[in-house]
Amino acid sequence: MKIVLAGIIFCREKVLIAQRKHGKAQEYLWEFPGGKLEENETLEEGLLRELKEELHLSVKIHKFFMESRFAYPNGEILLKAYLCSCLRTDITWLDSHEQIKWVKISEMSNYLFAPADRPIVRALKKQPEIINELTAEE
């Protein structure tokens, strides 16, 4: 089973979501940015590295939020999601995604998320006050 890391990144009462690239597995589905854990990395180090590589984004990791397991045709993943914050919304993304967007938790139903990310979306929608906790720390 692969460990995959995801950042639930809040900024100014919105969350960053990313659309998977054409030609990749789960193409055009939305996800929380992140990536695979590499050898000899802590979970937090892996998430910070992936966000820096994919989006040139530095974040503050606040705490672990939840995990989600999903068996895709090419193997099972364990997606570990962390609540994060950033201070800027202008992001440079390379070729890692079709597009990225800042959305309110209440707007997430308008996007089709990858199966492993869907339980995280449901949990966020049940706890919308969590965004107030993080934005109060910014």
Q: What is the 3-state secondary structure (H, E, C) of 25-38?
A: CCCCCEECCEEECC
Q: What mean pLDDT is predicted for residues 79-92?
A: 84
Chain position carrying tokens 């999903």? 70
pLDDT of residue 137: 55
d(CA 43, CA 80): 8
103 neighbors 111 (Cβ within 8 angstroms): yes
Superfamily of 2-137 according to CATH: Nucleoside Triphosphate Pyrophosphohydrolase (3.90.79.10)
CA distance 9 to 102: 9
* CA–CA dist 136, 5 (Å, integer): 24
Q: How far apart are CA 134 and CA 61, in angstroms?
A: 10
Structure pTM?
Answer: 0.90
User: Which pLDDT score is estimated for 7?
Assistant: 97
pLDDT digits (tens, 9 = 90+) for 38-69: 999 999 999 999 998 888 888 999 999 999 99
What integer best gives the mean pLDDT of the chain?
88
